[in-house]
C-alpha cells in the first residue's frame, strides 16, 4: 500500500505581526481580551506562519538577541494539532536561528507543552512560574553549528 505525506503542500513564510493575532487569540487566549495577543515588541520580531493549502495552520514569533533568540506565541490551530505541523514549524525556526548565528534558542513553554519541546531536545531551565492562570517553564536548546 502506498503512503502519502499530505503535508507536502505546506509552506512556511515570514508574515506581518497582525497576521498572527487570530491564531494567538483562538489557541492561546480564547477567553481573554486581545491584550495579551499583541506584544509591545512585535515590530522587532520575525513572525512565521505555516500554511497548508493556503490556510494558516501554525504561527510563532522569533526575537533575535545576539547569540540568543526567544520564540513566543507558538500556536497550532486546534484542528491541525498532533499532525506534525508544529514540529515542522519548530524545525524551521531552529534552522533559521542557526543561520542567524544563534547559539541558544529558548521559550517560556506552557507546562502542558513540555513533552512537545522535549521531543525536540529542549531542556527545562529553572522553576515553573505563573503569568495569570497559566503555568510556564523556560525551555532552551543549544543549537549546533556545522
Question: Band of the pLDDT at 132, cuts 50, 70, 90?
Answer: confident
Q: 71: which 3 cell numbers?
A: 520564540
- As its CATH architecture, domain 9-107 has 3-Layer(aba) Sandwich (3.40)
DSSP, res 117: H
Report angle CA 73, 80, 57 to the nearest 5 degrees: 50
Q: What is the mean pLDDT of residues 116-131?
A: 96
Helices (H) and strands (E) in the chain, counts: 3, 7
What is the C-alpha separation between 25 and 8, in angstroms, rounded?
Answer: 27
pLDDT digits (tens, 9 = 90+) for 4-46: 555 456 899 999 998 988 888 888 888 876 667 777 788 899 9
pTM: 0.88
The pLDDT, as a whole number, for residue 64 is: 96
CA-based R_g, the chain, Å: 15
Pick the residue with more confidence: 11 or 145? 11
The dihedral sign for the CA sequence 27, 143, 43, 41? positive
Domain boundaries along the sequence of the chain: 9-107
With a cut of 90, say whether residue 110 has pLDDT above it: yes
Amino acid at each position: 500500500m502506498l503512503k502519502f505525506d499530505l503535508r507536502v503542500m505546506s509552506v512556511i513564510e515570514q508574515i506581518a505581526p497582525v497576521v498572527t493575532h487570530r491564531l494567538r487569540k483562538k489557541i492561546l487566549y480564547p477567553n481573554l481580551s486581545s491584550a495579551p495577543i499583541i506584544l509591545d515588541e512585535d515590530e522587532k520580531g520575525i513572525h512565521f506562519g505555516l500554511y497548508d493549502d493556503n490556510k494558516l495552520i501554525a504561527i510563532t514569533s522569533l526575537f533575535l538577541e545576539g547569540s540568543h533568540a526567544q520564540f513566543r506565541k507558538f500556536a497550532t490551530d486546534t484542528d491541525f494539532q498532533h499532525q506534525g505541523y508544529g514540529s515542522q514549524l519548530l524545525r524551521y525556526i531552529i534552522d533559521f536561528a542557526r543561520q542567524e548565528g544563534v547559539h541558544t534558542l529558548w521559550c517560556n513553554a506552557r507546562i502542558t507543552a513540555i513533552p512537545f519541546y522535549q521531543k525536540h531536545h529542549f531542556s527545562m531551565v529553572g522553576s515553573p512560574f505563573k503569568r495569570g492562570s497559566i503555568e510556564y517553564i523556560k525551555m532552551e536548546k543549544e543549537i549546533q553549528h556545522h
